[in-house]
Structures are given as structure tokens and as C-alpha cells.
A and B are shown apart, each in its own frame.
Chain A
Amino acid sequence: MAEFFNEYIFGDGPWSWLGYVIAALIACILIIHVVAVGAMGFIWLERKVAGRIQDRLGPTRVGGKFGWLQTLADGIKLIAKEDLTPDVADRFLFKIAPYVAFAASFSAFIALPFADGVVANHVNTAVFFVLAVLGLEVFGVILAGYGSGSKWSLFGAMREAAQVVSYEVPLGMCVVVPVFLCGTMNLTTIGNMQEGFITNWLVFNDPFTFVIAIVYFTCATASVNRAPFDLAEAESELVAGFHTEYSGLRWSLFFMAEYGSMFLVSGLAVILFFGGSNGPIPVGDWLANLLGGVEGSIGANLPSLGAITVGVIGVANFIFKGAIGVTVMIWIRWTFPRLRIDQVMAMCLKYCVPIAAFCFVGAVGWEVLDLPTPNNLDEKSRYEYHEKWSQEYLKTQRESVPTENDTHVQQAVPAEAIVTTVAVSQSDLDVNGGKQ
């Protein structure tokens, strides 16, 4: 996008930085809007699902029969409310904490691919990036609890701190399994490697990954502070926990962050275990073939009709599966009582960690012993499942490189190209090493 601006407006002159700034701003606004609208949708979903679980209707008035606009109405109400800061609060920390939580939750979406190529930024180590940025959200909670100057908020913050060290360990161990099975940290590649029928999903790869998927979902629920792990905001014990003193828009930022993270961790679960943007049946590919294949193109730079179809179906698959994950979290929240802090820590450290460790070893053993799996990941080349654009890029690179220089591909690629295509790792450029 930045190149587009520079090409048509600013040129290569001293004003070229403006193109980057505008492109970044547009990207930020897009991400915030996509995620915020998504979060509002999930807030509506939670109210409806909770209503049905509790034998009532949920919102029915605002925005038609199903109360579609209830969240928007609530949002307007929250914006109109007075923004209170307690006298004893640490004003700076108190004010910045919601933005930390909000920014962390939303910026993790930068690296989350909704389908092949439908991602804000192609990050080669997306798994690492998402987990690291999601971990920052905890800082928002702790700062809020500490900065509020309320004892209840402080309790919430300390609980969050105790909880984070409990669930981060098993969560990391669970995420590592799909990473080593696919041999990449690129989320798009992991998703693409599960294409085909439902049996190709990593959750069905072997019995251990099935267990790992369940452990991951448990830890993910803990990581987004959802019941039964919502200790930091336990309303029956800590009034409202870390956000006791917040009102209006600042409070709603925490709320949005929570729902954003809920979709984020479900989306991560979808990519790592449940096939990414691939549906249970590869309908998308069939349709694409009917419409003239993915490779063909209509115009000069426009993707083909088949490619667009595959993309749309992929995004729909991803959002649908992510929404199912969110619904399960909602379902759990409105069914179970809350755990106690010692029980949360016992669950994460005494049960989840050993189970995750055992399954990690088991999954490694399964691959080492070459036991049968539906997906046969070890026979697949990671290279073939990269994002489409990087494959095309590699193809052009390979064509331009003379055969005698095969072992020195790196030199043949212009330094600038390597910088701009971080998603293409060095080993992938090695044509002979294309097969794992």
C-alpha cells in the first residue's frame, strides 16, 4: 500500500515516508474496525447464548427482533458516561492500562491469517508473535489493578499475575506441538498444510494431538480470563476485580479486549489444530476448479475468480470455526462455577503441564516411529504450503537464478528483496532443500 501511495502521490522524493505513515494508519484503522466489529458481534452473541442457556430471550428490542444493535447502544451509553478517576489512583497507570490491554489484544490480530493471504502482515514467526503480544494484555490487567488504588483491584491484579505464570507454561507446550509437526511457525503455512478433508486436521493427526488440543483450549480459556478462570474479575469475590474502578469508555476497552482475545485464541486453536481456513470437505478447491482454477488471473494484478472464491470460503470457514470456539467459551462460562486461585494453579501446573509434556513426547514419538497418521505431514513439503504469493515469488527467484549458482542462491537474491519478504526463510530459498 505504501508503494502505491509513493508511486502515485508522493514519489520517491523526500516525502516518501508519508506514504508509509498513511498506509500504516489505514492498516491500523482497518484492523481496529474489523476486530472491534467482531468483538461487538461476540458480545451480542454472548448475550443471546447466555439468554438461551438461562431460559430467557436476551436482547430483543434494539435493532430489530434479535437485538442486533444492543451492543452498539451500550457502546454509545458507555461513551456518554463520565470517565471517573479515583483520587487515590496512580493517574498515569490508571489511564494507560485500558489502552495497553486493548492494544495488545488487537495488535495480535496483525499476524493472524483469516485465510491464505488474508492477513495484515505476513509474519514468518506468527505463532511466536501472537503469543508474545497476547501475553502483553496481562500487563494491562496488572497495571489497571495496581493503578486503581483499590484493594479489590489489587487482588485482581495479583491473581492475574499468579494465573499468568500458571497457564503460560502449558499453553506454550501445547502450541509447540503443531509447530514442530509442520516444521514452521508461519500460521498460514500451518493452516495450509491441513488442507483436504477433515481427517487432515492436526487434531486428528494422532491421539496425542487430540489431547493437546483440549489442553490448549483449557489454557486458552485461562489466558483470556474467561470462566471458570475469571479470577481477576471474580464478581462475587472481588466486586469486579481489576476493573472495579473503571467506568465508561475505559471500561469498555477492557471489555472489547476480552472479546477480541477470545476470538484470537479460538482463531489460533482453529489454525493450529482445526484446519485453519480449510473446511471439513475441500469444497473451495472444487469450486475454484469449476471457476477456472486458482492460478489463472483476470487482469494484470487481480486474482482470478477461483482464487477469490477460495479466499472467501476460507475466511468464512475460519470465522465460523473461530465463532464456534467462542461459543464454547460462552457455554462454559454460563455453566460452571468459578475455580479458586489454588485450584487454578493446581489445574494448570499439576495437571495441564504434565499432560502437555507427556503428549508432547508422545507426539514426537509418533512422528519418530513413523506411525500412521491421516495427514502424512512428514511426506509433505513445507515449501509447497507457503502462502501463494511467496511461492510465486520463489518461482520467479528460481527462474532468475542460474543453475550453477544453486548453492549460493542467497547471493543471487537482491538484499532488498530479502528484507521485504521476511516470510521466505533462508532454507526455503534453497531449491535442493525444498523437501524436508
Chain B
Amino acid sequence: MSATNIDDPRVIEFDVRTDEMIINMGPQHPSTHGVLRLALRTDGEIVSDLEPHIGYLHRCAEKIGENLTARQFVPYTDRMDYLAAMNMNLGWALTIEKLLDHDVPEKGRHLRVLICEMNRIASHLVAMGTYGLDLGAFSPFLYAFRERERILDLFEKTCGARLTYSYIAPGGATADLPVGWTAECSKFINQFKKVIPEFHTLLTTNAIFIARTTGVGILSPRMAIDYGCTGPVLRGSGVYHDLRFHGEERYTELYDGYEFDVICADSETGKYPSSHQEVYKDGLEYPDVPSDAILGDCWHRFYVRMLEVVQSVRLVEQSIVKYDACSGSHGEPIKLTQKLPVGEAYLETEAPRGQMGFYVVSDGQSNPWRVRARSSCFSNLYVTAPLCRGVLLADVPAVVGSLDVVMGEIDR
């Protein structure tokens, strides 16, 4: 600004410019999804700059991991992404199993797919409901939570907990599914399939929702890759990448024999895979992509989650059949003081919010020498700053909500 001289026509523009105001959105704010603090520099309603501040929920999870055995650390993984605790358990369990070179029996494999995909549904329901809340629609939130409650009821029957399950443990799971659980689960899935179109009438196809989300916060595929975005955020930008297909063998072999799609718009046609129609044999159709939507905007990120829910429904249906066909052990968890072999292991899994990686270094004791967690939300969060430059204030919750961050996972 100082470089401008009086002949510069832009000088007048600077003269009439209003003062900028710096305001803190959070850490106590209704729409920042926990204790995220966004320092906004605003020029009237326009956000000229934004900086996310994190660390309000830091609990030294990695350091705690060095002082606990592998089995003892499981409850701490629950508290990372507390909306998808089963998927966190799975990530940790697979990493330790990789270090131990331990394999889980067939029944345990299907149990894990079943439980993790159920949790993915629950997690995406929260993401969808709170996104409606961010945009000012209150009712979809309660509809989403009504369905989530049913999933939590099912989870409660498996392990007694409703939020922090510690169910999947290195070596298998703490307990087998109770008798009759899969029947209840298929009953829920059948009922849930009828409910999914309700969310589309309330949000996806709503004119105001489309106006608020299309063309807002456009994340280009290049930028998504550069920032290390993963999960629905990456796929919403049209990047075909899902660790359930593209991951390490130890993880992808969980999904061997399962039929499902990576939800991602085709880079040429811009169309989403249509396999979700198979779930709806009675002719319920999914809404088309609105003409205003640009690949990588908030609407696409939201829509990817909505379609992933249907894919999870497919996976759950298949896994129930496969699980019921299995007999024998579900896989006993490792001993509480199991010694870990010298070495290191790193494994990434596809959690609902993106790639969750755990890194373990062991010097031969029961306690790992070093634990490191790679959080997907951390990378996803840091695109807010470039995405929110120049948008209106009301778009900031829309963008942050579409990234669906969980502070527990970022701060650890």
C-alpha cells in the first residue's frame, strides 16, 4: 500500500476503504465444531483473511502412548475422533497387528468391516446434521441424530459404551457380537434406507441450501493434494482416492470380496457412480448435481458424504451376510502387557474424515518407544484459510462445516 503514489488510480479506493476488524470466531462459538478458534480479519462482511488456531483440546495423546502398552492405548484412540471411535480403534489395532505381524480370523475381519462402516454412517450423519446447523437449518440435525441414536444403541449392545467404545482392539475385538445383533442391525439398515431420501429433501435439493453451498469454498484437485487433504474433502474435489481401494494390503484385505464404489465425481463427465441405485431397487432416485455446483465446492463435499453413507449401507448389508456365515473366533485381543517386537510400523486407514495414520516405534518393551498419529482433519482444516479469503462472513461456517473437522483428532 505504501508503494502507491498519488497518481495511482487505486489510491481513491484505499481512501474509501473501511477499517478492518479482527474478530475471534471461537473457541466458544456455536458453529466451530468444538474448540476451534478462527481469527478473522474482516472488512465489513467480507473476510479478507483467516487463521485457524488449534490446541485447545490437546491432551498429549502421543506422549501418553509412550507410557502405556499397546492394548492400554486403545481408549485414547477413542478420544481422538470421538465421532468415529471405532475407526480410530481399527487404525491403532491394524498398526499394532502390523508390528506384531498378527492376523485376525475371518470372522473378526467381517466384524470389523461391519462395525466400522456402521460408525462411518453415524459419523457422516453428524457431519450432515451439523452442516445443516451451520447453515441455519435446525431440523435436519435432529433427524440425523435420531438415526445416529439407533446406531449408538446397537453399539451399546456390543461393548456397553455409546461414544468411546474401545471395542476393536489389537488382535481382534474385545467381545463377539451378541446373539441376534446382526438381525437387529439389518432391521435398522432397512429402516435407514427409507430415511435417507428425507435428508435430500431437507438439504441436498433445498434451493436455499444449494444457493448457500454451490460455488462456495472451491477446493481445486491440485490444491487438495498439495495441502494433503484426504477423505470426503479430497474426493469432493474429484480426486479418485480411497484407502479402502488404494491403501496398504493389510487394510484393503479387510474389504476383500466386498462390492462398493469410491464416491468421486468422474473427472470427465462430472457424474457420480450410480451404484447407489442398486440399494434403491424401488426406484428412489438421487438428486442430480445442480447446475451451479462447481467440482470441489461445499455442495460436492456434502454430497460425497451423503453418497458414502449409501455405500456404507451396502457394505454393512454384505458384511452381515458374511459375518453370519462365519464361525469360530472373532479374534481375541492381545495381552495387556504384550511385548512389542523391535521395529516400527506405520499404517493409514480410511476413517470417515480421511486418512488416519498411526506410527509406532518399539524398542522391544510393552510400551511403544514412540507413538505418532497422523490426523486427517489437521490437513483438512488448513485449507480453510485459502478457501475463506474474500468470502462473506456467513460462508466461513459453511466452509468449515463442509470440511467436517473434529478438534479431538486435530489436537490429540
Interface size class of B (residues with CB under 8 A): 20 to 34
Asked whether any CB of chain A lies closer than 8 Å to the CB of B142, the reply is: yes
A155 to B42, CA, bound (A): 11
- One of A55, A239, A336 near B29 (C-beta < 8 A): A239
Report the Cα distance A115→B8, complex, angstroms.
66
Q: Are B142 and A235 in contact (CB under 8 A)?
A: no
How many residues of A are counted as interface, with CB atoms below 8 angstroms from the partner's CB atoms? 30
Smallest CB separation, B209 vs chain A (Å) = 5
CB of B138 closer than 8 Å to a CB of A: yes
A238–B212 alpha-carbon span in the complex (Å):
16
Q: Does B392 contact A (CB under 8 A)?
A: yes
Bound CA–CA A342/B133 (angstroms): 20
A82 to chain B, nearest CB (A): 19
Please pick, from B31, B139, B395, B396, the residue contacting A335 in the complex, using a CB distance under 8 A.
B139
- Among the 9-residue stretches A33-41, A226-234, A277-285, the one with 4 or more Cβ atoms under 8 Å from chain B is A226-234
**Is B23's CB under 8 angstroms from A151's CB?**
yes
**Is A72 on the interface with B (CB-CB < 8 A)?**
no
Quote the shortest CB–CB distance from A181 to chain B (angstroms): 31
Q: What 0/1 pattern do residues 274 to 318 of B give for CB contact below 8 A with A? A: 000000000000000000000000000000000000000000000
Given the known interface contacts A337-B206, A337-B209, A339-B211, the answer about A230 and B393 at a Cβ–Cβ threshold of 8 Å is: no
For A239, list chain B residues within 8 Å (CB).
29-30
Q: When the two chains form their complex, are residues A54 and B45 in contact, meaning their CB atoms are under 8 A apart?
A: no
A237, B146: Cβ atoms closer than 8 Å: no
Query: How far is B392's CA from A22's CA once the two chains are assembled, in angstroms?
Result: 52
Q: A54-B138, A236-B133 are in contact. Are A337 and B212 (CB under 8 A)?
A: yes
Q: Fill in one digit per residue for A147-165: 1 if any B CB lies within 8 Å of its CB, else 0.
A: 0000110010011000000
- Asked if B139 and A53 make an inter-chain contact with CB atoms under 8 angstroms apart, the answer reads yes
Assess whether A337 is in contact with B30, with CB atoms less than 8 Å apart. no
- The answer to whether A343 touches B211, judged by C-beta atoms less than 8 angstroms apart, is yes
The smallest beta-carbon distance between B55 and chain A, in angstroms, is 22
* Contact yes or no, A337 B143, CB < 8 A: no
Q: Which residues of B contact A159 (CB under 8 A)?
A: 45
**Given A55-B142, A56-B142, also A237-B397 (CB < 8 A):** yes
Assess the B139–A230 pair: CB atoms within 8 A: no
Residue of B31, B133, B146, B395 near A340 (CB, 8 A) is B395
Chain B residue contacts of A47, Cβ below 8 A: none
- Cβ proximity bits A332-357 to B, threshold 8 Å, 1 near / 0 not: 00111111111100000000000000
Q: Return the chain B residue nearest A341 by Cβ.
A: B45
Given contacts A54-B143, A236-B30, contact A228 B208 (CB under 8 A): yes
**Which residues of A, 157-215, contact B by the 8 Å Cβ criterion?**
158-159
B 33-58 contacts with A by CB, 8 A? 44-45
30 chain-A/chain-B pairs, Cβ below 8 angstroms: A54-B143, A55-B146, A56-B142, A151-B23, A158-B44, A158-B45, A227-B136, A234-B394, A236-B30, A236-B134, A236-B135, A236-B136, A237-B31, A237-B393, A238-B393, A334-B139, A336-B136, A336-B137, A336-B206, A337-B136, A337-B137, A337-B208, A337-B212, A338-B136, A338-B212, A339-B208, A340-B392, A340-B394, A341-B392, A343-B211
**Top 4 closest pairs, chain A to chain B, by CB:** A338-B136, A337-B135, A337-B137, A236-B31
Binding site for B on A (CB under 8 A): 50, 53-56, 151-152, 155, 158-159, 227-228, 230-231, 234-239, 334-343
| B interface residue numbers (CB < 8 A to A) | 21, 23, 29-31, 44-45, 132-139, 142-143, 146, 202-203, 206, 208-209, 211-212, 392-397
